[in-house]
Amino acid sequence: MINLEVPKKFAALVNQAQQVANEVFRPNSRKYDRDEHTYPKELDMLAALLDGMNASGEGGHGASGVRRKKDDGEGVRNGANLSTVLGTIELCWGDVGLLLSIPRQGLGNAAIASVANDEQLARFKDVWASMAITEPGCGSDSAAIRTTAVLDGEHYVLNGEKIFVTAGERSDAVVVWASLDRSKGRAAIKSFVVEKGTPGLEVVRVEDKLGIRASDTATLRLDNCRVPKENLLGSPEIDVERGFAGVMQTFDNTRPLVAAMAVGVARAALETARELLAKAGVEVDYDRPANTQHAAAAAFLAAEADYEAAYLLTLQAAWMADNSKPNSLQASMSKAKAGRTATEVTLKCVELCGALGYTEHELLEKWSRDAKILDIFEGTQQIQQLIVARRLLGKSSQELK
Rg (CA), the chain: 21
**Which residue type, as a one-letter code, is found at position 386?**
L
Task: Tell me how far apart the alpha carbons of residues 303 and 268 are, in angstroms, rounded to a whole number.
Answer: 13
Task: Tell me how far apart the alpha carbons of residues 355 and 36 are, in angstroms, rounded to a whole number.
Answer: 24
Left (φ > 0), alpha (ψ -120 to 50) or beta: where does 228 sit? beta
User: How far, in Å, are 157, 162, 200, 294 from residue 223 at the CA level?
Assistant: 8, 12, 5, 60
Side-chain half-sphere exposure of 267, counting CA atoms within 13 A: 22
Task: Tell me how far apart the alpha carbons of residues 240 and 244 are, in angstroms, rounded to a whole number.
Answer: 8
The burial class, CB within 10 Å (0-12 / 13-18 / 19+), for 229 is middle
DSSP class of 290: G
Q: 91, 344, 87, 351: which is closest to 214 by C-alpha?
A: 91
Task: Tell me how far apart the alpha carbons of residues 61 and 334 are, in angstroms, rounded to a whole number.
Answer: 19
Side-chain half-sphere exposure of 311, counting CA atoms within 13 A: 18
The helices-and-strands tally (H runs, E runs) of the chain is: 13, 8
Q: Quick one: how far is CA 97 from the chain centroid?
A: 11
378 is catalytic: yes
Select which of 154, 271, 378, 399 is catalytic: 378
Report, as residue numbers or ranges, the catalytic residues: 378
